[in-house]
Amino acid sequence: MTVISTVTLPSGSKVPALGQGTWYMGDDARRRTEEADALKLGIDLGMSLIDTAEMYASGGAEEVVAEAIRGQRDSVFVVSKVLPSNASRDGTIKACEQSLRRLQTDVIDLYLLHWRGGYALEETVAAFETLMESGKIRSWGVSNFDIDDMEDLDAVAGGAAVSVNQILYNLKRRGPEVALMPWCSSRSIPLMAYSPIEQGRLLNHPSLTGIAQELETTAAAVALGWVLSHDGVIAIPKSSNPEHIRSNRLAADLELTPAHLNALDRAFRRPTNRVPLEML
């Protein structure tokens, strides 16, 4: 098993290109130990970036993460998010403090605005700067920001310090490649791909299963390997199934050839014109 490759954030921090998501975790208290154990397995396999949010199970997912990282906080890179309805200057700080309590940690490594809402970006960025100065977060970013939103952010005082844009990106959702990805790449802003296997809906596609059979791996590994083949992109698949987690981890060891990538490109066509950023 090879070491997972890393992506360098603007801060200089290196994070694994393959991490773990937690969307839909924490909804059922009876499953929390199982979910935390799944995250622990992922950490043991090198997927030590964990993405969560105050929205997920109304904070329940953050509590699952707290259980998973107990005793190994320093070896895990924790990402969480503030809801746009909380993203005023004071509201962002309060939301972060509540997330810190649920996560049972003193600092969040990367704190994101979950999507753009009604509060001025100036307010949210100012709150992020205050949180960094107080040591409660190490860096900040955004999620679900299309190119127009990124340009607006770039024009805000301090907005150019954005560390990441987390977006929906996978073989079926290639719209970001037209404009958003080049824009971010030109500014060395990494992208974080959520739902990188389309919540499992991609996995029966014959192009994926065919390549998986040829390479003696899984369709999930091929779909994730395609995402990871793009420079500056971090994939955060979610799973609480140990078999699926091990399957996801195979992607970091996979070498897709140009022929494989061309076959996937033909099977999943990139849009020719810019399309609005999609969300789930």
Which residues line the annotated binding site for substrate? 114
Q: Which two tokens mark 139? A: 């860096």
> Is there a contact between 15 and 7 (Cβ–Cβ < 8 Å)?
yes
Q: Which of 24, 56, 169, 194 is labelled catalytic? A: 56
Provide the sign of the torsion angle of the four alpha carbons 148, 141, 87, 115, taken in this order: positive
For the question of residue 119 being annotated catalytic, the response is: no
Please give the helix or strand (H or E) that residue 185 lies within, else none: helix 180-186
The answer to whether 224 touches 235, Cβ cutoff 8 Å, is yes
Kindly tell me the number of DSSP H helices and DSSP E strands found in the chain. Answer: 10, 9
- Rounded to 5 degrees, φ, ψ at 77 are -100, 115
Q: Which amino acid is at 162?
A: V
Q: Which 3 state secondary structure label does DSSP give 171?
A: coil
Return binding residues. Answer: 114
Question: In this structure, is the dihedral angle defined by the CA atoms of residues 151, 141, 173 and 117, taken in order, positive or negative?
Answer: negative
Q: Catalytic amino acids?
A: 56
